[in-house]
Amino acid sequence: MTLKLPRIIGHRGACGYAPENTIESIRTASDMGVKWVELDVKLTKDGIPIIFHDDTLDRTTNGHGLVAEITYEDLRQLEAGSWFSDGFTGIKIPTLDEVIEELIEMNLGLNLEIKPCPGREKETAEIALDHLSRVWDDHDKLIISSFQHVSLETAMDVARDWKRGLLLDEWPENWKDLADYLDVSTVHCNGNNVEREQVEDIIDLDLPVLCYTINDPQKARELQSWGVDSFFTDVPDVIEEALFTVH
């Protein structure tokens, strides 16, 4: 089975146009014709998998403090849209279950990034993948990615037949060994500071190269010329146009 990787993957939905990691952001991406989205999953204090990026609530909600210290019931009282614009006031942080339902209905592929709060690397992967496994059955439209090697190792143990993606920002000397050990299907790197040689090294491993977070059309075209397969972007329409327009 081979991944049907699209050229464009909506980063946290389409977070240039709607609050990141929300149902509204996913719908916005779908309305733009995006085929896959990338979303972050972490756990509440009582172990409910939610779609959220930061370790703290402050940047994207009207709450304060650590996500790992708030219960799901209290989280539901928070508002997660007005920080982005008044038009999104009142929207909520979604659970993984709510988001999966939405993705299946819209026939969207998913790159689920395991984004654990510190110390919850194994637990987050176990719980998230347990929830996912109950309803998600299209292996060609799913990547489980993480910067956390423990999370990927856990994914390998509990859902070995799902594709895994190794996220790199720093490049440890042993990254090729890690990719091999974790039996990854893709390598995801920071496209804004990756070097051509690094991209070519990934290609030499016969693995697809995915770059985040690319919002500049010129950078997207440069990376495409190096052989990058897919682009995570906040502005899918802009990058889509850049990559499919002949200049």
Q: Which two tokens stand for residue 110?
A: 């998913």
Q: What is the DSSP string of 161-224?
A: TSEEEEEESS--TTHHHHHHHTT-SEEEEETTT--HHHHHHHHHTT--EEEE----HHHHHHHH
Q: Which two tokens stand for residue 122?
A: 């194994």
What CA–CA distance (Å, rounded) separates 239 from 216? Answer: 7
Query: Among residues 53, 131, 149, 247, which one is catalytic?
Result: 53
Give yes or no: 53 in active site. Answer: yes
What CA–CA distance (Å, rounded) separates 73 from 221? Answer: 45
Dihedral over alpha carbons 55, 53, 80, 124 (to 10 degrees): -80
Strand partners, 49: 43
What CA–CA distance (Å, rounded) separates 123 from 35? Answer: 29
Contacts of 173 (CB under 8 A, 6+ apart): none
Q: Which two tokens stand for residue 194?
A: 């990756």
Contacts of 105 (CB under 8 A, 6+ apart): none
Query: Among residues 11, 64, 139, 188, which one is catalytic?
Result: 11
Give yes or no: 247 in active site. Answer: no
Active site residues: 11, 53
